[in-house]
Structure 1
């Protein structure tokens, strides 16, 4: 390709023509690296169409106004091939005709990618700002951040963005169902945590405090009597102290200058307005769920358990089934061991932690945060706690999807969001999305995703498409001519019993297999992707013969898929065949 690049520049100079050197080099590299062509003279109309409609949109970030420049560069390459004799004049004419045929669709695809890229870029920039503590409603702070970020060297901007995206991927939790606001508010009003803090704040009123801004010993004893709490030396676990500091942190009690007074949040906790009540209750939950006792102070078992409570609550949040208490205890002790050397205390410390944790579970149940669930005595978060944990996760920068949030999304947003769903919630999300749409309009949106998205998006869009009835057949038939959508359209039409439905050709079947594995590799490591893909292969399939054929398939991700099969297929013969096929694909 280096010699072709030089010859092309010389050809342009001799004719006094302007050559887009960067654009031409990108096209030549894509022909070599993605289409596997040993030289541009091997370009055919079919390969050119694949270059424009499949390879280029996935490999190059381009704006809609770049399209004329790209097409002009490609026409220049074709003219050079004709004039240099690398292709015949009739073949060059066929290539030029294919450019003209593909140009409208190429323009549409790049435009769609451009809009999606701009939206994604805006979301990443906003995320970077939030991570740096910039308030999005502070215009001056936003503009200052943008100026500072733009002034950084390109390598540093890229590194910061990459690091942010890695962190975002790690900060994703499974989707949950959120109860209606009225139900959540009713649970918050019924919570003993709410009642205890309101009672404590009302009893406290305005009074003098100690130098440590706590109740005096006499006041503390009276408060325990009024609230029905035990003293620490009478079997209590310091619940008054915990409630006191939670009330202060949540501003139900105002603690300042050695005096206590009713705080601004007290009215919210008493409010008949559901939104106001929940807004006041969330900081209270945050204070008891994230107590942050200082390890250097020498913590007892109860304080160690409370410090680990955040991890326990997130663990419960992420489970789709109730968790047995013994499993929670083991996870909690492992978590504590990451900050505190439990092993040095021996088995006795582990027993103290287990006992303290079971007492903590009882307290959380009284407060309406956890509840018994399942047939095996498991524990689960209450709907109120699910809502509260999610609110705190979102505030901490986590992506925390809610089932039903995608009902009004575009097809592209639906497909992107489904990546984070379990099968049961994905089915529910798809059903909600389809319920609000005309079948033909929904099919058209999904087919557009299949034309413009990557392998993973195509696979998910095809799955959703199969949930749509035969009334969408005219729209699906119209997509049968697009190279990326055609195999999936054919399968849908066949399943729908449409007269234009047909079995896939052998080449199409192999292309879909490669596309499926490539899609799985977007969301999983190669070993997991290969294992998942093989689970759908018929038991009687001759995998060695199938893999041996794959190298002839034209797909941008073919080599990566063959290498994954070569590295991870459990059958040594098939794995060897895949490695050989990968070599052939690279050399073809």
Structure 2
């Protein structure tokens, strides 16, 4: 399936209570909560709501960051304090007019515990997750506001003025980072990564970088595009290192030795084909954490995207299930179908699925294919519902397949017309789903080879998609004569449809 910015593939989420147990252990939220407890009843702040210098140092000691090299420890304290304020764990009470009347670093008000802290302390899962997501949002904005090259220059020179001269657009950088995380979300969803899996799901950093740079229609990236991929890869590496304390990501950074070996560690698909997994990992591996999947889904939904989660359809009608699953990756479709079946009696579920699969609209073949795949998850208890539709022209074929596969007795053989109708219906569903053209071509070649005179019978099939399927067979079959026969049959089918109309 192809995901657009507004229609995203479904993801698997951990239950809210499990996520809420993970959130307080995330470094950023953990530090923010510890600072609130350390601050006590109140703590003096300056006009910007920041800790006074002496308290900043004391807070670093409280968090065990006082031994951190350079100013990094104080910066992490300031970030945790800012996250606490941003999420409402701390509430600021600044004196009116203090910004104009007090000097930098002077006390101008106080910070007190906020209502959000009390709610988090009470353990409400949704309050805990709201606090974590607010802290992560704060860190994302903070990351986009930093100029990494300028920061290096400033620290090397001992002069922070270099930051002011750097060419940096925080809004543009925030959009870049948001897009990268959204692409990571989609890549993981399409790969079928489970939220609690320690293995799998990690995306090589160059692959993520390429998703931001290489146009979909470009089969072989140019040298200029590959150079841009490398630059984006290193840019992402800087961002993701900073975001590790948020709990959004699980990240293995680019190997420093690799950067030293090459001025810019170029990566191409050709190179990837020659590298073993351990070597590929040197270029960086990233995945959203279970919290990160949850957080990105919340952010994307807030931005207007349709971001479903596995289980959303469990309580809905069968027609909604079948319509949705035609667009889902196979591994997710199965998981969603299992959840839908879980709370229903097999015979009743089968009857509802079969009723929802009927129709002659363009989406009906896809619904029937998904229906057949979902019915395959049911056992013998569903048999009565399948026998009830043996005479149904749309469902009788798939019912016979289901019954035969389970060794059921007294299954009447299908008529030739029913066999051809089911064949056309199945091919129509696979064409509509944009299945792999090469695999579909193999299926078509095998089908034609096993049935002499296939096209002489196929064009007569009374199915809305007959002509379209035959035309597709003409495009996909490599044998020129057979392809021509398919096109002739398609023409006959269209003529028959016109005459019937």
Give the TM-score of the pair, scaled to structure 1: 0.58
Task: Summarize the alignment of residues 150-549 of structure 1 with structure 2, pairs less than 5 Å apart.
Answer: 170-201=5-36, 205-210=42-47, 224=60, 226-227=62-63, 228=65, 234=71, 238-240=75-77, 242-254=79-91, 258=99, 259=109, 261-262=111-112, 263-289=114-140, 291=142, 293=144, 298=166, 308-318=176-186, 319=188, 320-321=192-193, 322=200, 327-329=204-206, 331-332=208-209, 335=212, 357-358=236-237, 360-371=239-250, 376=278, 378-452=285-359, 454-524=364-434, 528=435, 531-537=438-444, 539=446, 541-542=448-449, 545-549=453-457
| Deviations 1:75-106, CA, capped at 9 Å, x for gaps | xxxxxxxxxxxxxxxxxxxxxxxxxxxxxxxx
Distance 1:349 1:310 in 2: 17
Kept in 2: contact 1:208–1:260 (CA 8 A): yes
1:327-365 CA distances to partner (integer Å, 9 max, x unpaired)?
325634774899xxxx99x979966x6566445444544
* Per-residue Cα deviation, 1:466-495 (whole angstroms, up to 9, x for no partner): 333334333322212222112222322333
Deviations 1:560-579 (A, max 9, x none): 22233334444433332222
Shift of 1:550: 2.0
Residue 383 of structure 2 aligns to a residue whose secondary structure is helix
8 Å CA contact 2:143–2:239 kept in 1: the answer is no
In the TM superposition, residue 555 of structure 1 has moved relative to its aligned partner by: 0.8
Tell me the TM-score normalized by structure 2: 0.67
Residues in 2 aligned to 1:574 and 1:221: alpha-carbon distance in whole angstroms: 81
Contiguous gaps of at least 5 residues in structure 2: 100-108, 148-163, 194-199, 216-222, 253-276, 497-501
Deviations 1:247-285 (A, max 9, x none): 443233445664563444333443433332223222222
How big is each residue's C-alpha offset from its partner over 1:230-259, in whole Å with a ceiling of 9 and x where there is no partner?
899656795455445544432334456645
Kept after mapping to 1: 8 A contact 2:202/2:286: yes
Counterpart CA distance in 2 for 1:577 and 1:239 is: 71
Larger Rg belongs to: 1
Q: Whole-Å Cα distance in 2 between the matches of residues 349 and 507 of structure 1? A: 54
Report the structure, 1 or 2, having the larger helix content: 1
Between the aligned partners of 1:238 and 1:306, the Cα distance in structure 2 is 20
Instruction: Say whether the 8 Å CA contact 1:487–1:508 is kept in structure 2.
Output: yes
Equivalents in 2 of 1:574, 1:497: separation in Å? 36
Name the CA distance, whole Å, in 1 between partners of 2:213 and 2:62.
Answer: 35
Q: Please give the secondary structure, in 2, of the residue aligned with 1:446.
A: helix
In the TM superposition, what is the alpha-carbon distance from 1:460 to its structure 2 partner? 1.0
Structure 1 unmatched runs, 5+: 1-166
Secondary structure at 2:181's aligned position in 1? helix
- Give the secondary-structure state (helix, strand or coil) at the position aligned to 1:371: strand
CA distance in structure 1 between the aligned counterparts of 2:210 and 2:61, rounded to whole angstroms: 34
Shift of 1:187: 0.9
1:494–1:502 CA contact under 8 A, matched in 2: no
What is the distance in 2 between the residues matched to 1:291 and 1:576?
Answer: 62
Aligned residues: 411
Q: CA RMSD in A?
A: 4.3
Pair 1:569–1:397, CA change in 2 (3 A): farther
